[in-house]
Amino acid sequence: MFEFEIVKEDKKTRARAGILHTPHGDIETPIFMPVGTRATVKALTPEQVEEAGAQIILANTYHLYLRPGNGLVKKAGGLHSFMNWNKPILTDSGGFQVFSLDGLRKITEEGVEFKSHIDGSLHVFTPENVMQIEEDLGADIIMALDECAASDKPYEYVRPSMYRTMRWAERCKKAKKREDQALFGIVQGGVFEDLRIESSKIIDDMDFPGNAIGGLSVGEEKPVMYRMLDVIEPYLSRHKPRYLMGVGSPDCLIEAAGRGVDMLDCVLQTRTARMGTALTRHGKMNMHNKKFEEDMSPLDDQCQCYACRHFSRAYIRHLVCVGEILGATLLSIHNITFSLDLMKTMRQSIIDGNYSEFREEYLSMMGYEPVEMTY
Amino acid sequence: MFEFEIVKEDKKTRARAGILHTPHGDIETPIFMPVGTRATVKALTPEQVEEAGAQIILANTYHLYLRPGNGLVKKAGGLHSFMNWNKPILTDSGGFQVFSLDGLRKITEEGVEFKSHIDGSLHVFTPENVMQIEEDLGADIIMALDECAASDKPYEYVRPSMYRTMRWAERCKKAKKREDQALFGIVQGGVFEDLRIESSKIIDDMDFPGNAIGGLSVGEEKPVMYRMLDVIEPYLSRHKPRYLMGVGSPDCLIEAAGRGVDMLDCVLQTRTARMGTALTRHGKMNMHNKKFEEDMSPLDDQCQCYACRHFSRAYIRHLVCVGEILGATLLSIHNITFSLDLMKTMRQSIIDGNYSEFREEYLSMMGYEPVEMTY
């Protein structure tokens, strides 16, 4: 039911093009996954998300567990049916959100106790009940419960935390019951190479159908994150998909793929859209800027998204300046389409054997220097 | 270019079914016009507005004059092109908005001086410059500048105000230049029958291609509004479309059509949607209500809109309760579709000769008593 097929491996880097088969369809990797935190990709209908080219979306277990509750989603026939999205879905484990609730949580070997950010009520996530919740939600790919340690935590904190996360991964594997969901383990270890390597070995040994890399892009510098990817790549089975969690700015999409990452997700595309920002081949555009006031050209003249086919920068600036919802909708459509087009072009460059050239050209067009791969 | 064709007149009431031809297409009357105040029907793409069945939308001159400015809209090729809406558009004159700015405006024979609600800057609307602004905006149907007196104003205030509005209408007619726009005059006169009749005679004499009725649904009871419609109907040429401004709750749509009204607009459909309310054949539904928590049926099982085809009440309740934009979008799609379907069914009942039966049944289904027609 889950199979990962590698179509092409790049010769100069660790980039690869693949196809991940799931019960709700195939995903062409490397892929960017738009985020639908509360069972909706913000400001968009599922129709618009599909038209933007999304092959898989992510939803957040923490948020859905609190509201509307995994029990209700199960009653509705699972997330696909509840939100009317018939392609693949991935749910995270809630770990990241819970561990962001600083001061509102308590970690033990058993799991993590936390207070709801909504009403302060007390809850517990354990590997076992998180598996139950994710099975109720019914995504195609589900994630093991992990602790995502902040990037400023010292070695003495991160080491035992990582080992506990490894034990939790094992418990998740045992607790999981549904056959039509793929459980991915998560590599942790902060910014410490030895811990990252150790964690990768342990996770890879557990033989999940896919391996995720968590706890990056949480405050550390980008080169540090890239270094971690470089260091662990040899320890994660090549024939399994690798998912870098919560990372997805355009430069990161390119840099991570070159380091062997197959799947990424990020709220940046939709969050910046709601703040009035467009992602383009030439970098970010803040649509509040007065220079777009009379600009009758589309956001990006090479983009074929609904927003670029029909509306001018001047119109979108107007919407953004007066605070109309349609501004957020059009920019979300554009930013997701732009990111997925970038993935598609990158994937083709891998297949065509010129990913390195693509990487250099595209990064430089966006105003980024490529970061040296250090393996 | 503008022609109003009457397809059928009801025998028992003053309802009629017609077709209004405009440069951007035909409108089947009686029609409800969704409101796109700032060149966007709130929370919807023009594609979604069209799919909801809209044949014409309204935009507000006051808002567009202030932001982004009529000059910019003109540069963009007019509203149709600016907002990517290729069907008919109607712009109001800004009168209603300006006269809602209590304390921020000063009326003279020349026009009205007002302070922007955005930055307090000083502006003047005269019949002449409003015609210029509406010509820049480029709608198919444009409205004369009028004073919309509050419903609690005494006769001594309303009488001279109405006569001034009549003189402004005359000046608008003289100032208007574009041949591809139809200018409608506006009947005023508050809740005073003699003033309403006098105003109707004057407006009708000016021979506009359409006549509007303004200053109703501004605080008076509904039977008072219906009475005004009953009283003036004989004075407004039957072969011209009649537009009742700013009125559009489902019961009003039905009652007004029976009194010879052909066009209506209202923000209720989209405003209540953003507050979480669905309009249905059985009245309003507040989707925050806990009783919808596990309700897997659509908003309205006879509605064929995108929201009703794909989503449950439980899902929409979830969106509304957590404040997701998609909740506003789905409810806006539904409320507009519902209102336009109502118009379509009503129009067919006029053609089939059973409008009166339709009126009684539909009003009673929604929980309303029909209000006696008093002509």
In this structure, the strands spanning A263-266 and A31-34 are: parallel
H or E segment and range at residue B216: none
Over 90: is that where the pLDDT of B165 sits? yes
Angle at alpha carbon of residue B160, lines to B159 and B164, rounded to 5°:
120
Q: Tell if the CB–CB gap between B326 and A45 is shorter than 8 Å.
A: yes
Task: Tell if the CB–CB gap between A46 and B310 is shorter than 8 Å.
Answer: yes
**Distance from C-alpha of A16 to C-alpha of B146, rounded to nearest angstrom:** 67
State how far residue A271 is from chain B, nearest Cα, in angstroms: 13
Give the C-alpha distances (Å, rounded to integers) separating A37 from A43, A271, A283, A353: 12, 12, 26, 36
SS3 A173: helix
CA distance B46 to chain A (A): 10
Spatial CA neighbour of B165 closest among B123, B122, B209, B195:
B195
Reported in sequence order, the residue ranges of chain A that DSSP labels E, i.e. its strands, are 3-9, 16-22, 25-29, 31-34, 57-59, 89-91, 105-107, 112-115, 122-125, 141-143, 182-187, 210-213, 242-244, 263-266, 277-280, 283-286
> pLDDT by residue (tens digit) across B118-154?
999 999 999 999 999 999 999 999 999 999 988 899 9
CB contact under 8 A, B318 and A294: no
Neighbours of A292 (CB within 10 A): 23
The pLDDT of residue A306: 98
Claim: this prediction has a pTM higher than 0.95:
yes
Q: Indicate which residues of B carry an active-site annotation.
A: 92, 265
Q: Do B325 and A39 touch (CB under 8 A)?
A: no
Mean pLDDT across A351-364: 98
Least confident of A115-119, A290-294, B57-61: A115-119
From the list A43, A67, A319, the residue facing B40 with the nearest CB is A319
Mean pLDDT of chain A: 97
Residue-wise pLDDT tens digits, B73-95: 999 999 999 999 999 999 999 98
- Tokens (6 digits) for A346: 């990158």
B contact set with A (CB within 8 A): 38-40, 42-47, 67-68, 72, 75-76, 82-84, 293-294, 296, 306, 310-312, 314-315, 317-319, 321-322, 324-326, 328-330
Q: Is A92 a catalytic residue?
A: yes
pLDDT at A264: 98
- Write out chain A residues lying below 8 Å of B315, CB-based: 39, 76, 82-84
Do B46 and A319 make contact, defined as CB atoms within 8 angstroms? no
Query: Is the pLDDT score of B1 beyond 90?
Result: no
Find where tokens 């507050």 sit. Answer: B275
Please give, rounded to a whole number of angstroms, the shortest distance from the CA of B83 to a CA of chain A: 7
- pLDDT of amino acid B366: 95
Q: What is the per-residue DSSP string for A15-52?
A: -EEEEEEETTEEEEESEEEEB-TTSS-TT--HHHHHHT
| Contact predicate B42/B332, CB 8 Å | yes
Residue B375 above 80 pLDDT?
no
Using CB atoms, pick whichever of B42, B75, B293 lies closest to residue A324.
Answer: B42
Closest residue in A to B307 (Cα) is A45
Looking at residue B151, what is its pLDDT? Answer: 85
Q: How confident is the model at residue B100 (pLDDT cuts 50, 70, 90)?
A: confident
List pLDDT tens digits, range B292-313.
Answer: 999 999 999 999 999 999 999 9
Whole-number Å distance between alpha carbons of B36 and B202:
30
- Please classify residue A52 by burial: count the beta carbons closer than 10 Å to its beta carbon, then call 0-12 exposed, 13-18 middle and 19+ buried: buried
- A72, B38: Cβ pair inside 8 Å? no
- The 10s digit of each residue's pLDDT in A236-252 is 999 999 999 999 999 99
Contact between chains at B43 and A326 (C-beta distance less than 8 A): yes
CB contact under 8 A, A314 and B42: no
Binning pLDDT at 50, 70 and 90, where does residue A101 land? confident
Q: Quick one: closest CA in A to B47, which residue?
A: A306
- Name chain B contacts of A292, Cβ cutoff 8 Å: none
Distance (Å) from the C-alpha of residue B256 to the closest C-alpha of chain A? 31
B-chain residues near A39 (CB < 8 A): 315, 318
Amino acid occupying residue B181:
Q
Contact at CB, B75 and A38, closer than 8 angstroms: no
Nearest-CA distance from B39 to chain A in Å? 9
Q: Please name the helix (run of DSSP H) or strand (run of DSSP E) that holds residue B8, with its range, or none.
A: strand B3-9
> What share of chain A in percent tops pLDDT 90?
95
Catalytic residue from among A10, A92, A230, A300: A92
Quote the ipTM score: 0.98
Q: How far apart are CA B342 and CA A163, in angstroms?
A: 63
Distance in angstroms (rounded) separating the CA atoms of residues A178 and A199: 26
Number of residues in chain B = 375
CB pairs under 8 A between A and B: 102
Give pLDDT tens digits for B211-270: 999 999 999 999 999 999 999 999 999 999 999 999 999 999 999 999 999 999 999 999
Backbone phi, psi, residue B350, to 5°: -65, -45
How many other C-beta atoms lie within 10 A of the C-beta of residue B283? 13
Residue A253 and residue A342 in contact, taking contact as beta carbons nearer than 8 Å = yes
The token duo for B324 is 């997701």
pLDDT for the residue numbered A231 = 98
Residue of chain B minimizing CA distance to A36: B324
pLDDT in tens, A275-287: 999 999 999 999 9
For residue range A15-44, what is the model confidence (pLDDT) as tens digits?
999 999 999 999 999 999 999 999 999 999
Q: Do A76 and B314 touch (CB under 8 A)?
A: yes
The pLDDT tens digits of the residues spanning A166-223 come to 999 999 999 999 999 999 999 999 999 999 999 999 999 999 999 999 999 999 999 9
